[in-house]
Each structure stands twice: as C-alpha cells, then as structure tokens.
Structure 1
Amino acid sequence: MELSDYIRILRKNWLVILLATILGIGVAAAYSYTRTPMYEASSTVFVSTQTSGTVQELQQGSSFTQSRMTTYANLVTTPVVMNPVIAELGLDTSASGLASVVSGTNTLNTQLITITVTDPDPVLAADVANALGASLTETVEKLETPADSTTSPVRLSRVRDALPPQTPASPNIPLNLALGGLVGLALGIGIAVLRSVLDTRIRTPRDIELVTDTPIIGAIAFDPKAKDRPLIVHDDPASPRAETFRALRTNLQFLDMGGRASFVITSSLPSEGKSTSTINLAIALADAGKRVALIDTDLRKPKVAEYLGIEGGAGLTDVLIGRAQVGDVMLPWGQRSMFVLPAGRIPPNPSELLGSQRMHDLLQSLEKEFDVVLCDAPPLLPVTDAAILAKATSGALVVVAAGRTNRHQLNGALDALSTVGAKVAGVVLSMVPTRGPDSYGYGYGYGYGYGYGHAVERGKAPNQAKTKAKKAAKNDEPRGARRRTSV
C-alpha cells in the first residue's frame, strides 16, 4: 500500500482509533487510581577506610573499598542486616518480605550506597531506610574487623538521612495516562489496518485495479435521493451526478469496439445500479445527438419500463417468439432520438431466448439502425443471461457498486464473461461517495458545479446555461409518450 492508502485508512477509521485511544487512557486511569500509593524514602551511606599513612596506603585503602562496594550494597537485603531492623521497629514481616520493598545500590565509581525503601506509609519508609543504614554500618564493621583486632579498617557513615516523602513514587499517573493513550492509539491503528486488509469490498478504482486490467470508464456519484429521482440526467440535468453520466458517455465514445456500438450493461449482483446507469447513459447519449436503442434484456426482473413510465406488457419477448415485430413494440421516449424496447412478459426460458439466433439477428438489425444499442441485462453471478447476451454484442460494461461488491464477486463476474468469450469493454464504479476518505474525483465538480462548466463549454453565463437546461427538461414529452419506430 502507498502512503495515500494509509491516510485513507486513518481517515476512514478515525472514530475507531479515537475510541481505542480513549479506552486506553480510561484503562490506565482506572488502574492508576485504584492502586495504593507507594512512597519511596532513601538514605545514603559513605564507605571509607580508616588509614592514616602514606599516599600509597590511602590509594590501597580506596581500591579496597571500591572492590567491596557491590558486596556491601548486596548486604542491605540480607537477613543479617534486616532482622535487627525488624526487631527494632516491631515490623510485622519477615526478612524476605522486607527485602521485596528494599534495594541497595552503589553509584558507579563512588563510595556511596543508597538504601531505598518503598511503603504505603511515608514515615515508616523513612524510618526503615534510616534503620537499615545504621544496621548496615554495624554489620559491615563487625564483618570487616580482623580476629586479632577490635577495630574495623572499614567505616560506614550516614551522609544523608531519609525523610518522609511528600508525594508518592507510584503510581505515576501522568506517565500511565500517556502510556495508556499510546497503547490505545497503536491498538486503534492496528484494528484500522486489520479491517482494511480483511475488507475485500471494492471502494475505490485502486481496488478494481487489483482484480482486472479492464479500464474504468466511469465513476457515478452516490445520490441519497436516487430512489426518488432515478433518471437524474432527465430530472436534474444540472446536478453533479448527471455530469458523471456525461463523463461516462464521453469515455464510452472513445472505446474502440471494432466499428460496433452495442453494449450489455450488467453487474455482479442485484442492486448495484445497473438499470438506472443504463437508462441515464442512454439519455445522456441521446442528448448528445446519438440515435440510441435501449433494450430491457432482463427477462427475469425487468425495470426499464417502470423507471421510464411506459407500458411494458409487450416487448422483447414478443419479438423473440415471433408474436410481434420490433417496430410495433419499440417506443420513442421524450424529445430525444431515444427508443425503448421493454422486456415484455417474463418467459420461462430467458437464457434460451437471449441466446437464440433471433436475438442475434435483432441486435444486428438494431446496430444498423441506431448509433448505440444498450442492453440492460441481469447480474452475472446469479444467472448466465448477461454472459450469453454479451457474446453477441460488441462488449459488456460491468457496473460495480462501491462499498457493496467485493473483489471475489467482481472476479467471478469477469470470469463468467471470459468463459463464453465475451469482451469486457469497461468497468463502471457506481454509488461512489462524494465526500469522505472513499470519495473519488468529485471535488472539482462539486466545487464549481455542472452549470458553470456547461456554460463555459457553450460560451454562456452560468445562469443562462442553467435556465436553458431547465427549459429543455420542461419541453420533454411525458415519459409514457408512445410512437412507433421505423425499424
């Protein structure tokens, strides 16, 4: 993944990361405030030799004590030093129990031993540290006194007595909160990355590129009001979403399909927006002056007649079984050079009808009569209708719903087309978010709006362009207008 991918993951999962960070801080706070405060008191003992001779003797004495400093520091936690302290202070513990809260350390290259005691009671911690210093002094002098002498060559002196501390040494609340926040942040980022790795849903063009080298010829913006106005190019031609269909129209016209211009528009699964994409693309092509034939080849759940508001009782099925001529059931729509062939009645054998020679001949005759032929077909994974039909056309356009279709489903749909030898002309990414980390290429369109770009293209002011677009929409005939074609 590239840096932009990681940034997108962080933007997309910022709430998870924030909650994990807050949780980490909360756990650290709960731990810190439920711990018993512990106080540390320290006393310091200086170790020297009792010599009063030449410089050489003093150096030898200093080397002697340096070699013993570690041993003296370790004596602090031994029973011989601790038992007198326990007896003196009346502590309710053993030597091993007291040793767990006591430490003796020697700073490198010094003759100082620091005795540190940790206890919930700051006064007791200081008393124990001072008592241990005194006990260590007596013990060392006793151990270092030769058998034939009454004086020890080593002398320990307390140079700093322990005082009751004012603040606890632990828990260190600021440090714990910082560590908890860092752990929570790392956990949140880890969850975000893991979610991204395990999530195989297609959200951006980059996800499609991981599956296929087929060109992405369009990205249709998501519209929360799409159910209320499915024919966005007709209902609101000045909207940014309508402009995405015009961009799709432009890209489609640049495809090299060997002189043919018949396309099957399908998807991997239902509800990916293939029918509305097909109809809006047909309207956009007709607006550009193309003669467009729109055929509803979804003989299982036809939607074209419903969306366009036309009678769909007779249509493609009647033509394929020889009950009607195409010119009798193909209807014009609106003030455009766009003609619609509804699906007709749902047959018991849709796959056989779509793969028949009569269907093949129908497509050839429509390609001669129209500039572009668009076939709205069923999804590829549930049934084979679209794959069979795609082989008889110049290519298939596969609609992929962002955030719904996963890579395995898209790969299966493309395999279904390649198995029958059909050509995939391009992929159309639908329902693309216009804002957020998964948005793709709509900043310019939404910032300037279609009206401005349309006006610049025609050399008119923005308001004039919008007014003309609205008038054109009002002048369209009702959706149910019927007129026979010459086909």
Structure 2
Amino acid sequence: MELRDYVRILHRNWIMILILLVLGVVGGAGYAALQQPSYVASTQLYVSVRTEGAATGDLVQGTTFARQMVTSYVDVVGTALVLDPVIEELDLDETVSSLSRRVTATTPLNTVLIDVSVTDGNAARAAEIADAVAASFQNAVQNTLEQPAAEGAVSPVQITVTEPAAVPTSPVSPNTRMLTLLGGVIGLALGVGIAMLRTVLDNRIHTLHDIEALTERPVLGGIAFDPDAPKRPLIVHADPRSPRAESFRSLRTNLQFLNLDSGPRIFVVSSAGPGEGKSTTTANLAIALAETGARVALIDGDLRLPRVADYMGLEGGAGLTDVLIGRMDVADALQKWGRNDLYVLPSGQVPPNPSELLGSAAMDDVLQALGEYFDYVLIDAPPLLLVTDAAVLGTKTRGVILAAASGKTKKQELSGAVRALDNAGVQLLGVVVTMLPTKGPDSYGYGAYTYGSTHELDGTPSTKATGRLGRWRGRKSAPKKRTTARA
C-alpha cells in the first residue's frame, strides 16, 4: 500500500481511533487514580575508618579500606541483622522479607557513602523507617560486624548519618502523567491496529483504486449516495440541479465517448448482485441522455424482478415479453416518458423462461428495430452472478456497463462478474460506482460545485402516456404517436 492508502484508512476510521484514544487516556488516568500512592524517604550514611594521629599513608589506606567495605555494607542493609531491630522498635506488622523489598541501599561509585531509601504508603512512616534503618545499620556495623576483640576497644569503622530522612511531600507513584500518556499510546495503537485489520479483512469495494485492481476497464462515473433515493429514484428529473443529478450527466458524457465507431449504441446495464443501484442508474442515465435531444429507448430487461416501470410511473402489465412471444408489436409496447424523446419498454408479465426469451431471435429483431431508430438503447438487466440474462443480452449489444455499490459490493463478486462476461465473450465497457459517500476519503468529489439555487424547470412536468406509435421500423423521422397525458 502507498502512503495515501494509509492516510485513507486513518481518515475512514478516525472516529473509532479517536474513541479508543480517549478510552486509553481515561483508562490510564483511572488506573492511576485507583493505585495506592507510594512515598520514598531517603537518608545518607558516611563510612569512615578511625585514624587518629595516623600518618598520611595510613589515612589513604583507611579511605581505601572504607571504599572496599562499603560495597559489602550495602548488602547488609537488607538483612535480618539490620531490619529485625527496626521491626521490633517500630512495631511493624510485617516480616523481614517484606520490609527488605521496600528498603533499597546503594553507593555511588568510588565513594564511601551509602544511600538508604524506604518506600511506604505513608510519607511520615517512610521517613521514620528510613531513620530507624540507618540507626540499626550503624549499630550493627560498629557493635557487631566491626567490633574489636579487645574489651572496651572502639570499632575502627565509624558510620555517620550525614543526611537524616525528610518526610516526602509528594508520592513517587503512581505517575499519573506517565500512566495517562501510556494509556493514550496503547489506545491509539489499538485503534490503528483495528483499523488496519478491518481494512485487510474488508473485501468490499470502497474506492476507485479497488476497482482498478480488479479490472482494466475504465470507471465511467461515480454516483453519490442519497438516503432519499427510494423516495425519489429519478433524481435527474426530481431535482435536476442537485450534485447527484450532475453525476448522472457526467456519466452521460463519458458514455457518449464509448464505441465511436458506426453501429447502434445499445448498452446493457447490470451488476454483480442485487441492490447495487443498476435500475436507478439506468433510468436516470436514460433521462440525462434524452435531455441532450437524443432519441433514447429504455428497456426493462429484468424479466425476473422488473423495476423500471415502477420507477418511471408507467403501466408495466404489457411490454417486452408480449413483444417477444408475438402478442404485441414493439411500437405498441413502447411508452413515451416526459417531454423529450424518451421511450420506455416495460418488462411485461414475468415469464417462466426469461433467458430463453432474451436469447431468442425475436429479441434480435427488437434490438435491431430499436437500434435503427433510436440514438441510444439502454437495457436494465438482472445481476450477472445470479442469472445469465445479462451475459445473453451482452452478446447482442455493444457491451455491458457494470454498477458496483461502494461499501456493499464485494471484491470477489465484482471479479466474478467480470469473469462471467469474459467467459461469455461479452465486452465490459466500464464500471459505474454507486452509493459513493459524499464526504470522507472515499467520496468522488460531487457537491463541491452546484447551482446557486434550485428551481423547477420551466414547462410542464414529465408525463406518462400509453398509446400506439406508428410503424417506424427503419425510419429516421419521428414516429407518429397518440398519447394520453396524465399529470
């Protein structure tokens, strides 16, 4: 992955990362608040050798001896010889072993000093124990360890307290700032780790980069997500100045540059699975093409679960199936929609053999007749992975346009749809990404530039009409029509 991919992952999951960061900070601070505070009191001892009236050489030897002994005395501080008297004197309810873990003795390098530190939950008691340990150690060395054999003689080693223990004013632990920072770091690392794991495990289409990795065919356009799409599926007509309507016009522009060679422009629109916006994409694209003055035919080729008639507000009882079985002429089945040259051919009744009908010679005749008159013919076909209808229609047309829903279509599903077209010898013209978020790293950029105000277009609203069209096969003039307009 590139740097921008990591940035996109962080951007996509920033809310979760922020929540875990805050939880980590709160957790660290809460853990610190629950810990019992610990105080450290320290005292310092000076070890010397008595050399009254001695020569300079004896003084040097005494200092050297003291330095050698100090390293051994450090280990003596934590023994029962020193700590038993402390426990007895202060009446401490603990053993030598437990007290030894709270007593630390160190000596700076090349010195005759011993630093004794005591850790306790009570500041005053910590200082009291430190002084008691120093006094006990002093007594143990001078009267036991270094006691001369001659009676009444003075120990050659002298222990002097140079700095008595002071009552500490602030605890050394818990370190609230460090624990809070550590909690934040852990929360941040956990958030980033989960974000990366979600990205690795997420096999859905999100960005154009995901599609480019699956197919070399171009991305023809991106349709922004609209939560109100079920209420107003024909956004190009319902709100023609909205950013989403503009996205369909951009798709229209890209479609006009496909296959500039001669021949009818007949396209199939399908998807890998259901619910990816192929039908609304086909209907809105047909309206956008008709806005340019082109003659457009919209065919509902989904003979299993038709949607186009409902979206367009037309009667769908008679349509393509009636034409294919010879019950009705295609000119009679076409219904004009709106003020432009847009005609809709509903699916008609759901047949028991959709694939056979769509692959029949009668379907070839219908497409040939429509291709001779109309500038564009759009066919809404069923999903590729569920049935073979779209692949069958693709062999009779210029190719298939795939709709893939951002955040819904899985990568393996899109790959399977592409393979299905390759196996059938059908050309994949491009991919339309639907349901793109309007904000965030996966947005397609629509909405940055829009009209200053939204007004209804001049003229009457779109009308739906049923009636007979004249026999126009092979004719380039506008068909004669008799319509019954309804608001």
Give the TM-score of the pair, scaled to structure 1. 0.89
How far the C-alpha of 1:148 sits from its partner, in A, is 7.2
Distance 1:73 1:299, change over 3 A: same
Determine the structure 2 residue equivalent to 1:470: 457
Determine the structure 2 residue equivalent to 1:484: 469
What per-residue deviation string (whole Å, max 9, x for no partner) do you get for residues 273-326 of structure 1?
A: 111110111111121222222111000111111111222222111121122221
Determine the structure 2 residue equivalent to 1:457: none
1:143 matched to 2:145? The reply is yes
Instruction: Give the share of equivalent positions with the same residue, in percent.
Output: 50
Distance 1:76 1:480, change over 3 A: farther
Contact 1:333/1:481, CA 8 A, preserved across alignment? no
1:394 to 398, 412, 422: 398
1:211 to 214, 222, 244: 214
Unmatched 5+ residue regions in structure 1? 453-462
How far the C-alpha of 1:84 sits from its partner, in A, is 2.1
Distance 1:430 1:50, change over 3 A: same
How far the C-alpha of 1:55 sits from its partner, in A, is 4.9
Tell me, in whole angstroms, the C-alpha distance in 2 between the residues paired with 1:353 and 1:254.
Answer: 31
Determine the structure 2 residue equivalent to 1:178: 181
Determine the structure 1 residue equivalent to 2:107: 106
Query: Larger deviation: 55-64 or 163-172?
Result: 55-64
Cα RMSD of the aligned pairs, angstroms, is 2.4
How far the C-alpha of 1:401 sits from its partner, in A, is 1.1
Determine the structure 2 residue equivalent to 1:316: 320
More helix by proportion, 1 or 2? 1
What per-residue deviation string (whole Å, max 9, x for no partner) do you get for residues 358-380 of structure 1?
A: 22333233223222221100111
Contact 1:35/1:171, CA 8 A, preserved across alignment? yes
Unmatched 5+ residue regions in structure 2? 474-487
1:273 matched to 2:277? The reply is yes
Paired amino acid for 1:268: A
1:231 matched to 2:234? The reply is yes
Determine the structure 2 residue equivalent to 1:300: 304
Tell me, in whole angstroms, the C-alpha distance in 2 between the residues paired with 1:382 and 1:273.
Answer: 16
Query: Larger deviation: 172-181 or 53-62?
Result: 53-62
Paired amino acid for 2:322: D
Alignment of 1:47-446 (within 5 A): 47-51=47-51, 53=54, 55-141=56-142, 142-144=144-146, 150-256=153-259, 258-260=261-263, 261-442=265-446, 446=447
SS for the counterpart of 2:350 is coil
Query: Larger deviation: 191-200 or 56-65?
Result: 56-65
Distance 1:109 1:189, change over 3 A: farther
Paired amino acid for 2:162: V
Paired amino acid for 2:175: N
Determine the structure 1 residue equivalent to 2:480: none
Distance 1:345 1:158, change over 3 A: same
Residues matched between the structures, number = 468
Determine the structure 1 residue equivalent to 2:36: 36
Contact 2:223/2:247, CA 8 A, preserved across alignment? yes
Determine the structure 1 residue equivalent to 2:14: 14
SS for the counterpart of 2:402 is strand
SS for the counterpart of 2:449 is helix
Query: Larger deviation: 13-22 or 368-377?
Result: 13-22
How far the C-alpha of 1:13 sits from its partner, in A, is 2.3
Tell me, in whole angstroms, the C-alpha distance in 2 between the residues paired with 1:333 and 1:101.
Answer: 90
Tell me, in whole angstroms, the C-alpha distance in 2 between the residues paired with 1:386 and 1:108.
Answer: 86
Contact 2:299/2:379, CA 8 A, preserved across alignment? yes
SS for the counterpart of 1:447 is coil
What per-residue deviation string (whole Å, max 9, x for no partner) do you get for residues 229-274 of structure 1?
A: 2111122222111111111011111223754422110111212111
Paired amino acid for 2:439: R
Distance 1:369 1:60, change over 3 A: farther
Contact 1:314/1:342, CA 8 A, preserved across alignment? yes
Tell me, in whole angstroms, the C-alpha distance in 2 between the residues paired with 1:215 and 1:448.
Answer: 24
Query: Larger deviation: 326-335 or 61-70?
Result: 61-70
Query: Larger deviation: 142-151 or 318-327?
Result: 142-151
Distance 1:104 1:257, change over 3 A: farther
Tell me, in whole angstroms, the C-alpha distance in 1 between the residues paired with 2:48 and 2:183.
Answer: 46
Contact 1:309/1:480, CA 8 A, preserved across alignment? no
Distance 1:327 1:183, change over 3 A: same
Distance 1:325 1:77, change over 3 A: same
